[in-house]
Amino acid sequence: MAQKTNSGYQGKILDIIKNAGCKIGDIILVEKEDRIYEGTLIPRSEYSDNTHIVIKLKNGYNLGIRITSETKIKKIGQGIKPSFTVPPLPKQNPNLPKVVILSTGGTIASRVDYRTGAVRSALSASDLYGVVPELSDIAQVQTEIVFGIYSENITQTHWSELAKRIEEHINQGVDGVVVAHGTDTMAYTAAALSFSLQNLPVPVIIVGAQRSSDRPSSDAAMNLLGAVQIAGNAPFAEVAIAMHQNLSDNVIAINRGVKVRKCHTSRRDTFKPVNASPLARIVNGKTTILTKKYLKRDPTKKTILKPNFCEKVVLVKFYPGFDPKIIKYHIENDVKGIIIEGTGLGHVSKYCFEAINTAIENKIVVGLASQCIWGRVNMNVYDTGRDLLKMGVIPLDDMFPETALVKLMWVLGQTNQIEAAKNLLKTNISGEFSPRTLPAEIYKQGDFKDDN
Ligand code: ASP
């Protein structure tokens, strides 16, 4: 089996590098077909081939060189290790609210190594504090690393552990909690924490960045400042996400954890509220609370921790030509819950009915959310919907599929009694169901008006 390293080099090419006595960061000379190249040996993608090395030339460009049996590689200089050192932590002002920043990883906790060109997870929570010293003007900040992973690697076990750590910090008397997290699955974690941390006395604000904190266009510092400001001062005590509201660098939107979704792969204003308005907005450092409908901050409240999640829950998207054997497969694999992402008002083709009915007969909880994302399911309009309702499929109103999935994982982590699970799935726990959707809450990209 090919040897693997963090550098992305493996197999034959790794042997050639090692035999030449070279390491990542070393300055090397490569002699090939009467040409000589000089540069720093840098890491490559782990999916790269077995025949090229990549060097950073003195002019800053990266160059891939195919290595043949005639190519000679020689080390001419010692590798310099990345030189980033964290600045000393700023002084704490005892009159400011106490906020803990828990770091879980993601781009917000990454730096580009400009010498090698790679993005690496390099910042702990206290490093983040060190590189955004303005935080000390808005809160007394405490920091802790809970994990150091990209959010695509977060599982139900991480959600449980994170919820427990948050509860411990709240019990120790912080005025607010900030969770630094990768953006990819941030909304799932936000939903998970919204269900697992109930009766919160203080806010829990999740924050991330689309660009690492040392890039000129980074959103990390501004998002973090906004998150800490809200965590320490907001009148509400809910789980929410604080990220750029638009492309300008002065507006942060704070959206409820069960009603927000990552909607753009790369833009900094990627998080949009779905069927909801933001809880608050910060413009140039000034907070405006946009609704009166929130759970109030109240330090006398005691958090109710419910950190269990069932892993045997799946999300199944219906599409034209969908094969109902996929549902049968899940039944055979002993799943306990299925969220179907149906079409429009809440439909799947009739040829799927038999498989869905079998799932329900096997005591699997089946919920239906719409793949439209915006709007709500109404399964009474067409006979397809009515047939599914009759079968026992639970309509999930305006809860969008990912929140529905996390909620069913959480529900089945609380009870294995089928009727109790169905009732809990239908109960509004953290604002995941809204009684009505305002016109301004549909596809809204920009400013929101007060909805009072
Ligand atoms: N893949 C990264 C993550 O979710 C992207 C990010 O942090 O924005 O951890």
pLDDT in tens, 391-432: 999 999 999 999 999 999 999 999 999 999 999 999 999 999
Does the beta carbon of 210 sit less than 6 angstroms from any atom of ligand 1? yes
Read off the amino acid at residue 392: G
What are the tokens at 377? 């399911």
What is the pLDDT averaged over residues 245-265?
Answer: 92
Looking at the annotation, which residues are catalytic? 107, 183-184, 262
Tokens of 433: 């169901």
Inform me whether the pLDDT recorded for 5 exceeds 80. no
Position 129 pLDDT exceeds 80:
no
Distance 447 CA to ligand 1 centre (A): 26
Report all structural domains of the chain as residue ranges with CATH numbers, in order of start: 11-78 (2.30.30.520), 98-305 (3.40.50.1170), 313-425 (3.40.50.40)
Is the confidence at residue 141, as pLDDT, over 60?
Answer: yes
| pLDDT band (50, 70, 90) for residue 121 | low
Instruction: Give residue 182 CA to ligand 1 midpoint distance, Å.
Output: 4
Q: Summarize pLDDT for 372-383 with one digit per residue, the tens.
A: 989 999 999 989
Q: Is 208 a pocket residue for ligand 1 (Cβ < 6 Å)?
A: yes
Phi/psi for 174 (5° steps) reads -70, 155
Beta strands, E only, 148-250: 176-180, 197-198, 204-207, 239-244
Residue 324: CB within 6 Å of ligand 1?
A: no
195-224 burial code (b ≥16 CB/10 A, e <16): bbbeebbbbbbbbbbbbbbbbeebbbbbbb
Indicate which residue's Cα is closest to atom 3 of ligand 1.
182
Query: 439 C-alpha to center of ligand 1: Å?
Result: 31
Q: Is the CB of 124 under 6 A from ligand 1?
A: no
**Lowest mean per-residue pLDDT among 83-92, 98-107, 193-202, 203-212:** 83-92
Residue at 14: amino acid letter: L
